[in-house]
Chains A and B, each alone.
Chain A
Amino acid sequence: MKDLVFLPTHEWFNKKDNTIGISDFAQKELGDIVFVELPEVGDILEKGQSFANVESVKAVSEIYAPVSGEVVEVNEELLDSPELINQDAFAAWLIKVSDPEVMEDLLSYEDYIKTIKE
């Protein structure tokens, strides 16, 4: 968890391997995830902008970029098995970025958890 920093909108960024995903709280809130729409390799992320969609049985949710950068890899496994996010949200990364611009305002896990409890 110490490598992860968070947006209050429940996305995480892993500082060690530059992957991005959604939090365990987010997957629980969404319920059974049945479809993930990911960007393409080469797409440019802009911090705070929506870059992916995660659909549960009931609804669709936009996923916002916690950092700016270029998409260098997408987790294609999620296209066939979106339920992996429900099974382990902190392992099921959505995309990997290169040269991320990590801002100071991202939250530590502890601070992120506090925002949920509020």
Chain B
Amino acid sequence: MKYTPFYDRHLQSGAKMVEFTGYSMPIQFKGIILEHHAVRQKCGLFDVSHMGELLLTGKNAFDTIQNLITNDISSLQNNKARYTLMANMRGGVVDDIIVYKFHDERYMLVVNAANTQKDAEWVKRHLIGDARFENISEITALIALQGALAESVMKEIFDMKDLPQKYFSFTTPRFSGEEVIISRTGYTGEDGFEIYCSNNLGLRIYDELIEKGKDFGLELCGLGARDTLRMEAGMPLYGHEMDDSTLASEINLDFAIKTDKPYFIGKEALTNIRPKYKRIGLKLIDRGIARQNAKVYDEENEVGIVTSGTHSPTLGYPIAMARVNIDTDANELYVEVRNKKLKAEVVPLPFYKRK
């Protein structure tokens, strides 16, 4: 079992711990719904140090990344981040990641915890020229402060000028003598920040955020709330909405696939293979919760499967994301839960969008 630097803090806070991708992680503190609402209405603090961080440096770092990703970073400016997929030769999804650009010869890839090892091997195998690779996951703490009041809490600790203003931008201020990376990103559908730093400094920042956050209704949040928040925001999760065998063009993330780029791994497959499936949102009309792998039907046939599902705390009804045949055009579908077919309405993603 692996542990994040905040493991002792979690135990002291009374977290319920679970094993997740080899790490002992908090699934909840006071309760998933309470934590969920805290993020939607005030702010919540997450330890997401299990995520992987891979550094790429050197003159050919750019070429290496362009070759690895489906999106295009040729227009990406310094101190900006971009969401992308990494595809394999068959067009399947190796991972969905965020690329941070410090400058022309220095980048960081933030990858899913479950994929860190696989991605590290994948990237190393595809290094071009003088590109250098370093896996800094183990020495990097990652804290996410999310919610409408996240900025107010951050301002209590950091200088306003050190905080990134635009969504998907980041800063690299020094904090007590060390460089930290602060990005305006998150996985909740709210405004928020993610802070990358050394494990030791992470503890200090974590404690200070909790202390200053008291006046703002900050709650400690676990993976449970992270999952319900991302689902409401219609955000895909690797292992649910996609995996190595899911065609990257079948998950409604086409904004992150630039087939007009001269070359990238998987381009040929993604250009030539017609997608057979699409990702849709479902709002359950009948009572019940459809979870991953529940079968989806139209009036006559099986048309797909649920990839993620939960009760939406914000909306107050059950929601699900499903992978269905691309020509499914019914407004009402059925999900099979314990041998019963529950009626569901097809709704646009995201389920929830902040005002």
Q: Specify the chain B residue showing the minimal Cβ separation from A58.
A: B224
Query: Interface SS of chain A: helix, strand, loop or mixed?
Result: strand
User: Among the listed stretches B56-64, B95-103, B285-293, which one makes contact with chain A, having 4 or more residues with CB under 8 Å of it?
Assistant: B285-293
| In-complex Cβ contact of B288 among A31, A32, A37 (8 A) | A37
Beta-carbon contact of B287 and A79 below 8 Å: yes
User: Among the listed stretches B25-33, B107-115, B235-243, which one makes contact with chain A, having 4 or more residues with CB under 8 Å of it?
Assistant: B25-33
Beta-carbon contact of B311 and A34 below 8 Å: yes
| In-complex Cβ contact of A58 among B27, B287, B338 (8 A) | B27
CA distance A37 to B337 in the complex (A): 11
Minimum CB–CB distance for B246 against chain A, Å: 24
Beta-carbon contact of A57 and B224 below 8 Å: yes
Measured as residues with beta carbon below 8 angstroms from the partner, the interface class of chain A is: 10 to 19
Q: Within residues 7 to 44 of chain B, which ones have a CB less than 8 A from any CB in chain A?
A: 16, 27-28, 31-34
CA distance A57 to B34 in the complex (A): 12
Q: Within residues 1 to 46 of chain A, which ones have a CB less than 8 A from any CB in chain B?
A: 31-32, 34-35, 37
Chain B: interface residue total (CB-CB under 8 A) = 18
Q: Knowing A57-B33, A57-B310, say if A35 contacts B224 (CB, 8 Å).
A: no
**A interface residues with partner B (beta carbon < 8 Å):** 31-32, 34-35, 37, 53, 55-58, 60, 79
Beta-carbon contact of B289 and A34 below 8 Å: yes
CA distance A58 to B313 in the complex (A): 12
Beta-carbon contact of A60 and B224 below 8 Å: no
Beta-carbon contact of B28 and A55 below 8 Å: no
Beta-carbon contact of B33 and A32 below 8 Å: yes
Given the complex, which residues of A lie within 8 Å of B32, measured CB to CB?
Answer: 31-32, 56-58
